[in-house]
């Protein structure tokens, strides 16, 4: 009887030791992944950020509240090949997993809406931006809605949205966030400048090149370092010189 109790005690000790060892191993693994992620972030090694954070999240689900945000953004904004059409499935997966934890996460909702537009689901994308604009009043979302209407070739609707925005008394006090993925540039520009830029796109679609140039000038007057406006002016100049 004493022998059996002794055996049970030894088995319990072994099991407890294995459990402690497994726990320590898991902690050490997470610590190593965290160090790798931190080093990669500081050195701007984006591929290692993605790989180390993916492993860290697989090993420790408690970091999901912020890790999904990072993985969605890095896959959406950084993991692109210039000039190539990419598959939006990966960033969309991480965005949706993060939204399961926090459905009100505006950061992930914004990314998902942009990815839906990449997939050609313009109605779903527009509806998401419209809901976020309704909740926040952030002109960035209204700008995105207007851009979608231009892409749909609903020029009259888009023009009405642009003109009503430019008539707002406080439009110059607001900001619009724009992302240029191929150029790897993010800019927060004066909202008036952002809507003058859309006005230029509309006029260009109407083959009013002079009007487009005038609107771009207004955009740059409001925001002198506006990357998108500068780039578009250069494109118009190249087109103009090629036609002469």
Full pLDDT tens readout for the chain, 244 residues: 544 555 554 444 444 444 444 445 556 667 888 999 999 999 999 999 999 999 999 999 999 999 999 999 999 999 887 776 678 999 999 999 999 999 999 999 999 999 999 999 999 999 999 999 999 999 999 999 999 999 999 999 999 999 999 999 999 999 999 999 989 999 999 999 999 999 999 999 999 999 999 999 999 999 999 999 999 999 888 877 765 5
Q: Is residue 211 part of a domain?
A: yes
Q: How far apart are CA 130 and CA 33, in angstroms?
A: 39
Run of H or E including 176: strand 175-180
Q: Is residue 164 part of a domain?
A: yes
Q: How many domains does the chain have?
A: 1
Q: Is residue 9 part of a domain?
A: no
Q: Is residue 47 part of a domain?
A: no
Max Cα distance, the chain (Å): 105
pLDDT at 86: 79
Q: Is residue 216 part of a domain?
A: yes
pLDDT at 238: 83
Q: Is residue 186 part of a domain?
A: yes
CA end-to-end span of the chain: 105
Q: Residue 203 maps to which CATH number? A: 1.25.40.10
pLDDT at 73: 97
Domain holding 208, by residue range, is: 137-244
Q: Is residue 107 part of a domain?
A: no
pTM over 0.75, yes/no:
yes
């Amino acid at each position: 009887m004493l022998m059996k109790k002794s055996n049970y005690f030894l088995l319990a000790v072994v099991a407890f030791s294995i459990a402690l060892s497994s726990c320590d191993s898991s902690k050490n693994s997470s610590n190593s992944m965290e160090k790798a992620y931190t080093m990669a972030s500081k050195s701007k090694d984006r591929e290692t950020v993605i790989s180390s954070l993916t492993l860290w999240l697989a090993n420790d689900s408690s970091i999901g509240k912020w890790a999904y945000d990072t993985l969605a953004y890095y896959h959406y904004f950084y993991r692109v090949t210039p000039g190539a059409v990419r598959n939006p499935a990966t960033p969309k997966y991480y965005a949706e997993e993060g939204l399961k934890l926090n459905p009100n996460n505006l950061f992930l909702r914004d990314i998902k809406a942009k990815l839906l537009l990449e997939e050609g689901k313009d109605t779903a994308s527009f509806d998401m931006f419209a809901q976020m604009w309704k909740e926040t009043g952030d002109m960035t979302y209204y700008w995105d809605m207007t851009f979608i209407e231009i892409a749909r070739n609903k020029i009259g609707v888009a023009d009405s949205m642009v003109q009503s925005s430019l008539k707002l008394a406080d439009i110059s006090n607001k900001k619009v966030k724009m992302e240029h993925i191929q150029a790897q540039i993010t800019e927060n520009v004066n909202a008036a400048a952002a809507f003058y830029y859309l006005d230029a796109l509309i006029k260009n679609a109407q083959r009013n090149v002079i009007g487009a140039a005038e609107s771009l000038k207004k955009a740059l007057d409001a925001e002198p370092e506006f990357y998108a406006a500068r780039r578009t002016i250069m494109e118009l100049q190249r087109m103009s010189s090629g036609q002469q």
